[in-house]
Structure 1
Amino acid sequence: MQPLRRFSSLCAAAVLMVPLLAFAAPLYNVTVVAGAGSAARDLNNLGQVVGSMASGSAAHAFLFSNGSLADLGTLGGQYSMASAINDRGQVVGNAELGDGWLRGFIYDGGAMTALPATTYTLAYGINNAGTVTGSASVDAQYVNPRHAFTYANGTYTDLGTFPYGDASFAFAINNRGDVVGEAATSMDGGPNHPVNPFLYRDGVMTDLGNLGGIWTGATAINDHGQIVGYAGLPAIGGNLYPQTAFLYENGVMRDLGGLVSDPDRQFGSTAKGINNLGQVVGAAGVGLPGNHGFLYDDGTMTDLNALIDPASGWVITDAAAINEVRQIAATACKEGLCYAVRLDLVPAVPEPSVFMLLAGGLALLGWRRRTAGGVRPLAPRCPG
């Protein structure tokens, strides 16, 4: 009976090995896309990443594409930052003019061009049709109040405000032309400048509500109309202004929670990006030393640091965007310095089938028989 016991053990080991291989958590490789002092803000479906990087004593917008890093420059001042990129490689962001004011820009075909404006105009999002969204002051003399806008084919569209507020700020636009952001819920900014998230669709700005707190804003929207952002919560214990990441879909705003057990919600979270698979990324507090980037998928929030090689030394502190092939634009720190990075899924290793594993067990058993110096009857089938 000894050979039968050995063969039964091999069969059991082979069968038990299959679920372990099939359900292993996906892992990411860390690809550095810019130097120390950089941060990633967005990426497209081609894996191109944009953000800001150190340039002398200032910061400049960058574009990482096909392994090459480009400094996008400024509009005559010292500072610029890229906010978003579409699948055509068009980049938008904000750059300092020679007089020190910021102006929204579009970078296309190797050149940075200021958005035409007579007011204080900032750009935060762009879709694949090239429609830009952001916010602009409503007259030439004052920075505030500001209204959300879209800009396409040389024309600005003022998206307006809530009827009970006087300001709005757009942060993202999807390929259907839906715009999301935040808008004031009172006149003259008081008290505490309360804001709620909005969805602008077909000429109508809709208030998405909140989770009981006074500061709530939408940061991203996918092509299915799922919206993410940050939401204020009612005061909890000694925490007067707790904040949580949210996902809004089918008319319901869901609290996504955080990465640590935190009954008093001392460590807030913010959702910053969502892809068409409904996967959400952002940042959540974990105590000292601060925030960790997260991936929210299928009802579960996971610390991105659990999905990279722990021996790499990287700490993912923020995740800004995720594309359709699950690449993530993030910021990671090592040895006291922080870098813009792209997280790429480790290529999947083909999983051996049950039959291959069983064949391996048979071969091993046959080898043991041959080394024992005798030809024996064929091995029995796996028990059960």
Structure 2
Amino acid sequence: MEDVMRTPLLARFAAGLLLAMPLLAAADPRYTVTVLAGPDSRAWDINLSGQVVGANGGNAWLHDGAAYIDLGSGIAFGINDSGQVAGHSGNNGFFYSGGVMTAITGWGFTTARGLNNDGVVVGMAEFEDAENGFVRHAISWQNGVTTDLGTVYGFQSRAYGVNSQGHVVGGSDIGGAPNYPLTPFLYRDGAMSEIAQFPGPWSEATAINDHDQIVGFGNLLPNGPELYPRTAFMWDDGVLTDIGALSGGANSFAYGINNASQVVGWFGNFASERGFLFEHGSFYDLNTLIDPASGWVISEANAINDLGQIAGTACRDGSCHAVRLDLVPAVPEPATWGMLLAGCTLVGWRRRLRTRGDLFR
């Protein structure tokens, strides 16, 4: 008789699950917002441990997950999974490792914009050229040795990202126009090549993952303004995808991509900028993926790690801060709850049949 008495309790549990399923189906925030630095700060990169680097009030900084570390004057642009940092201070790039700051120098101005897990740093350096005087070329740097990566056209180039294979992306000028309009490049196997030709000028590649998928931004209007509007793109083995923007966004810029092909950046018209996430062919305003009650507006997203954590900037009450977006722990999907309900019902039905059999023995 004990099993017979338990059956109504099981039925009530199943009914409760059914009533809860519409609530479970409602959209919940996907990310929480963690503030990393003070007002007017920006976050530029994030590693697999969730450590973030950026700039705040003219100083470079590293947040190691537990504490904010001031790295001195400059901007920290990149961090690898070992916690090594690349950035810019004064007229030189820098490499920070194990508490030691190393200057990356050239003939004149240098900057460091990214690095990989082998400590290969990429950026730009000024060189003396016999024909053109001082020129600025994309470079790679490792253990004190600087390599000039050259250009595709013209005599200017700059690098932004490097993957685990040492493949480098950036922009190289196409010459013959004001403001040194750029075209996106990929440097691998010792050669620099243009990955795509955009109708309009001033296009650059900003990041590359370990699958050689590349993101950046380009001008799609051949007869439009020289610099704007521009659209975010992803390049994959010769195929160029226009990431685009949501309505109301005249421009979009992609700045980060992880090994799951998730892309982050920002879109808008410069008066109203908003961070975005692009995945599985869909474009999301990041502000729709956080709790609206928080009051934060995600204005830019600059990097995403392989765990889906995002480094960027968020504003609230007139103050903007470097932030990290952390994924909210997953809850079972409605379909999962449905399977659980079906399983509970089946167990209850079998127990009820067994109990009835016992009664007639």
Q: TM (normalized to structure 2)? A: 0.84
Q: AA paired with 2:261?
A: G
CA distance in 2, matches of 1:234, 1:315: 30
Q: AA paired with 2:65?
A: N
User: Match of 1:82?
Assistant: 76
For residue 18 of structure 1, report the CA deviation from its aligned partner: 5.8
Q: AA paired with 1:158?
A: D
Structure 2 residue 36 is the aligned partner of structure 1 residue 33: yes
For residues 23-81 of structure 1, what are the alpha-carbon distances to aligned partners after superposition, in whole Å with 9 as ceiling and x for unaligned?
95661000011111100000000100000012xxxx1001001220011013xxxxx00
Q: How does 1:15-34 map to 2 (within 5 A)?
A: 21=24, 24=27, 27-34=30-37
Q: AA paired with 2:78?
A: A
Q: AA paired with 2:62?
A: L
Gaps of at least 5 residues in structure 2 are 1-9, 348-354, 357-361
The equivalent position to 2:53 in structure 1, one of 50, 53, 72, is 50
User: Would you say the 8 A contact 1:14–1:361 is kept in 2?
Assistant: no
User: Match of 2:6?
Assistant: none
For residues 315-357 of structure 1, what are the alpha-carbon distances to aligned partners after superposition, in whole Å with 9 as ceiling and x for unaligned?
0000000000000001000000000000000011245533543
Q: Secondary structure at the match of 2:37?
A: coil
User: Match of 2:92?
Assistant: 103
Q: How does 1:193-208 map to 2 (within 5 A)?
A: 193-208=180-195
User: Match of 2:85?
Assistant: 91
Distance 1:23 1:175, change over 3 A: farther
CA distance in 1, matches of 2:159, 2:101: 21
Q: How does 1:55-204 map to 2 (within 5 A)?
A: 59-74=58-73, 80-96=74-90, 102-139=91-128, 144-162=134-152, 164-186=153-175, 190-204=177-191
Q: Secondary structure at the match of 1:42?
A: strand
Q: AA paired with 2:93?
A: G
For residues 178-208 of structure 1, what are the alpha-carbon distances to aligned partners after superposition, in whole Å with 9 as ceiling and x for unaligned?
000000112xx52452210000001010111
User: Match of 2:338?
Assistant: 354
For residue 165 of structure 1, report the CA deviation from its aligned partner: 1.3
CA distance in 2, matches of 1:143, 1:72: 34
For residues 89-144 of structure 1, what are the alpha-carbon distances to aligned partners after superposition, in whole Å with 9 as ceiling and x for unaligned?
00010012xxxxx2100111113221143322111111000011111111299995
User: Would you say the 8 A contact 1:210–1:232 is kept in 2?
Assistant: no
Q: Secondary structure at the match of 1:206?
A: strand
CA distance in 1, matches of 2:118, 2:270: 42
Q: Secondary structure at the match of 2:308?
A: coil
User: Would you say the 8 A contact 2:62–2:71 is kept in 1?
Assistant: yes
User: Match of 1:307?
Assistant: 289
User: Would you say the 8 A contact 1:43–1:328 is kept in 2?
Assistant: yes
CA distance in 2, matches of 1:122, 1:148: 10
Q: TM (normalized to structure 1)? A: 0.80
Q: Secondary structure at the match of 1:145?
A: strand
Distance 1:20 1:227, change over 3 A: farther
Moved segments of 4+, more than 6 Å: 10-13, 140-143, 236-240, 359-363
For residue 153 of structure 1, report the CA deviation from its aligned partner: 2.6
CA distance in 1, matches of 2:107, 2:135: 15
Q: Across the two proteins, how many residue pairs are aligned to each other?
A: 339
CA distance in 2, matches of 1:16, 1:41: 44
Distance 1:152 1:22, change over 3 A: farther
CA distance in 2, matches of 1:160, 1:239: 25
User: Match of 1:223?
Assistant: 210
Q: AA paired with 1:277?
A: A
Distance 1:236 1:307, change over 3 A: farther
Q: AA paired with 2:60?
A: A
For residues 209-262 of structure 1, what are the alpha-carbon distances to aligned partners after superposition, in whole Å with 9 as ceiling and x for unaligned?
233111110000000000000101115888983210000012022111102156
**Which deviates more from structure 2 when the two are superposed, residues 209-218 or residues 221-230?**
209-218
Q: Secondary structure at the match of 2:39?
A: coil
Q: Secondary structure at the match of 1:165?
A: coil
CA distance in 2, matches of 1:360, 1:17: 15
CA distance in 2, matches of 1:289, 1:362: 58
User: Would you say the 8 A contact 2:214–2:235 is kept in 1?
Assistant: yes
The equivalent position to 1:247 in structure 2, one of 230, 234, 254, is 234
User: Match of 1:279?
Assistant: 262
User: Match of 1:268?
Assistant: 251
